[in-house]
Chain A
Amino acid sequence: MSYLNNAVLECRNLRVIVDDNEIIRGVDLTIAPGEVHALMGPNGSGKSTLVNALAGHPGYRVEGEIWLNGEQVQSLEPEERAHKGLFLGFQYPVAIPGVTTSTMLRTALKAKQGEAHAPSVFLKELKRAFSRLDIPWEFASRYINDGFSGGEKKRLEVLQMLMLEPRVALLDEIDSGLDIDALKVAASGIQQIAEQNTGVLLVTHYQRILAHVKPHVVHVLVGGRIVKSGGPEQALELEDRGYEWLEPEIPLAAGRGAT
């Protein structure tokens, strides 16, 4: 594929099996630098499973190929994929009591870059990112996602993305739980990272965020397969017509839904 050298993320015939259920049933996807792809689809279609599998979730069996910047990564650990530029913004960011957001980010940056930032430089950057996303600065010394509201967690995911400067960002329902102001702030963070040439895969249920982050491509995932890919107008069509008209083509995957 000639496109390969240019793509930040590419998967070919990706299949993901969870507890003997094939949730993702042969997905092909190519994202070029700076491109924003939206991934839409009904509940249980496998959107979260797909992005978690791309990031290396240990609970899944994965078949097919995943390429990051021209390197095959499907057998790599999540942290190795992260070092090669992958970032996952979680749908339900897990709380880690006892570990502060700033400690985690400093450790992550050190692991990625091989050396620690000077504390003053790190703090300055972190402070800037907090104010950029309109998150109170004291959250930096709170434990990761511990006692945060849904919206605060999502903004913190965007913040981590901006700090870690990935080549490709997978954002799993980053818009859920955000009020309209927070949505605008998060969207401008995503727009910014795309302008820095990061490829973005935006998993969403709603057209809402796509009004602020213009997607180049909209994919529709139903029953573990991409059944339709098109321009941004497709999101509007889905908003009007729902997914039902797409479903008869392919039955929904049996078993667990997205987690």
Chain B
Amino acid sequence: MASSATRLTDPRPLPPRERVIQLARITGDHLPLVQKRLEALDAYLETPLPDRVKHLWRYSDPLVLLPQHPFVVPQPGPELGTINRTPGIDDVFLVPGMRPVIVSSDSGADEGMTITPLNESDEGIERLGRAVPAQHGLFEALNASIWSCGVMINVAKNRSPSRVLRITHLASLPTTGTRVVINLEPGAALKVIEVHDSGGAGISVLSVSEQFVGRNAELSHLLIQTWDKGTAGHVTSRAVVEADGRLNASLISLGGAHYKADVGAVLDGVNAISHITGMGLCHGRQAMDHHTFHDHRHPHTESELEFKVALTGRAKSAYTGLIRIGETAEKSEAYQECRNLLLSSRAQTETIPELEILTNDVRCSHGATSGPLDPEQLFYLKSRGISQAEAIALMVRGFFENAIIRVPRQLRPNVESTIDHHLSRGGLK
């Protein structure tokens, strides 16, 4: 990889097409993938910058999230240091410009799960873009043309690995493009956590994760963003859930300067279920913009979404949640709730629920609240001898409890200490 990298520090300005081919060459892509990259590039070049008047982009400036020089071919970074195996967890590290690093938990017992670099997996390449096509939007098209590290996960029919899979996206280059495809065959089950980590000022992340939940399969998917200060990025995650399948997703958004996430599920078969729980903690001048989408395409599908954001300082949060119940999705049920906790008078939130219901005989409800901490709850805790600061920390932690209990047991101490770290950075602990 090092020798090819030297060859690639070609100073001539090349049009994006050449750059994309160059990139495909160092990552060793096969022809079908190179074709997908070039099609995505065309889509990218044809997609105008999102209109700031349109609701999905009213709260985030696309120029702040886009990498400055997306077509610079990534230089392989330094090797990862020693990676410790964690019992009960399979680790995959996605480092832009490098082959994914896969560290199996312990026994390496075959539990029906295969982990393959995405560009080496025919099935992965075949599925790539089926849940999130390049036409999804500008960021998704750009990602599909320039992603430089990806992984394909497959769980065989009726298998449910006991270990948790952790995929860590390391934001280490000015343009960090990563891509994940997860496929659960019918009746399979998997617990996976995607961690977006590292970063810093000048680093932009573009990431897309696609999940295919087969018939009667069950995916637990946690997306946690813990970027360092200054990082900007856009993360898209979509699950396609087939008949009798189930998605339990949770979102934990903590770090970075500007973050936009687009998370959702397509309920693509009778009785498909999606439950999404999310939390965001924003402090200082952080800006977070979350969009969720539940797309009911078949009868008797069920979706539930609960999203909570706590803000301090001058932080800003926007949440837009779309529920679409299609013409053929009668007897479906959908619920959506967003709650904002304002811990400072200068923090700002916007919450916009959207319902697109194209058939009768469905149940759909939504709610949104914004407000400060309840002074009576605060008084109750203080009357027990708990200081104001500690009482607030307890209440904020409690506010997020629903999201935290969704974290797989093996990872909970780790996630809890990360949240505590961000609470203290926000002056809340």
Residues of A within 8 A of B (CB): 55-59, 77-79, 81-83, 87-88, 90, 93-94, 96-99, 103-105, 107-108, 111-112, 143-144, 160, 164
Q: Which of B349-401 contact A (CB under 8 A)?
A: 374-377, 379-388, 390-391, 394-395, 397-401
Residues of B within 8 A of A82 (CB): 382-385
Indicate if the CB atoms of A111 and B388 lie closer than 8 Å.
no
Q: Using known A-B contacts A77-B388, A103-B394, determine if residue A98 contacts B383 with beta carbons closer than 8 Å.
A: no
Please, could you name 19 A-B residue pairs with CB atoms under 8 Å apart, sorted by A?
A55-B383, A58-B375, A58-B379, A77-B382, A77-B388, A78-B382, A79-B384, A81-B383, A82-B382, A82-B383, A82-B384, A88-B383, A98-B395, A98-B398, A98-B399, A104-B386, A108-B381, A144-B380, A160-B384
Indicate if the CB atoms of B379 and A107 lie closer than 8 Å.
no
CB distance from B292 to the nearest CB of A (A): 21
Q: Closest residue to A79 on the B side, CB-wise?
A: B382
Indicate if the CB atoms of A96 and B388 lie closer than 8 Å.
no
What 7 new A-B contacts, CB under 8 Å, besides A56-B382, A56-B383, A98-B402? A78-B382, A79-B388, A97-B398, A98-B397, A99-B394, A105-B384, A108-B385
Indicate if the CB atoms of A104 and B383 lie closer than 8 Å.
no
CB distance from B203 to the nearest CB of A (A): 33
CB distance from A94 to the nearest CB of B (A): 5
Indicate if the CB atoms of B376 and A107 lie closer than 8 Å.
no
| Interface residues contributed by chain B, number (CB under 8 Å) | 24
B385 touches which one: A58, A83, A97, A143 (CB < 8 A)?
A83
Residues of B within 8 A of A111 (CB): 385-387, 390
Contact with A along B200-240 (1 / 0, CB 8 A): 00000000000000000000000000000000000000000
A138 to B401, CA, bound (A): 18
Residues of B within 8 A of A94 (CB): 374, 376-377, 380
Indicate if the CB atoms of B398 and A143 lie closer than 8 Å.
yes
Contact with A along B405-425 (1 / 0, CB 8 A): 000000000000000000000
Residues of A within 8 A of B398 (CB): 96-99, 143
Q: Closest residue to A77 on the B side, CB-wise?
A: B382
A164 touches which one: B381, B384, B401 (CB < 8 A)?
B384
Q: Using known A-B contacts A90-B380, A94-B380, A143-B398, determine if residue A164 contacts B386 with beta carbons closer than 8 Å.
A: no
A104 touches which one: B379, B381, B402 (CB < 8 A)?
B381
A138 to B382, CA, bound (A): 24
CB distance from B56 to the nearest CB of A (A): 30
Q: Using known A-B contacts A82-B385, A104-B394, determine if residue A98 contacts B400 with beta carbons closer than 8 Å.
A: yes
Indicate if the CB atoms of B395 and A96 lie closer than 8 Å.
yes
A55 to B381, CA, bound (A): 12
Indicate if the CB atoms of B374 and A107 lie closer than 8 Å.
no
Residues of B within 8 A of A79 (CB): 382-388, 391
A87 to B385, CA, bound (A): 9
Residues of A within 8 A of B375 (CB): 58-59
Indicate if the CB atoms of B384 and A104 lie closer than 8 Å.
yes
Among A81, A97, A112, which residue has the most Cβ atoms of chain B within 10 A? A97
A236 to B375, CA, bound (A): 38
Indicate if the CB atoms of A108 and B380 lie closer than 8 Å.
no
Residues of B within 8 A of A97 (CB): 398-399, 401
A87 to B386, CA, bound (A): 12
**The 5 nearest A-B residue pairs measured at CB:** A98-B398, A98-B401, A82-B385, A99-B398, A78-B382
Q: Closest residue to A107 on the B side, CB-wise?
A: B386
A144 to B378, CA, bound (A): 13
CB distance from B329 to the nearest CB of A (A): 32
CB distance from B170 to the nearest CB of A (A): 32
B384 touches which one: A58, A98, A108 (CB < 8 A)?
A108
Indicate if the CB atoms of B380 and A93 lie closer than 8 Å.
yes
Residues of B within 8 A of A96 (CB): 377, 380-381, 394-395, 398
Q: Closest residue to B376 on the A side, CB-wise?
A: A94
Residues of A within 8 A of B380 (CB): 90, 93-94, 96, 144
A59 to B382, CA, bound (A): 14
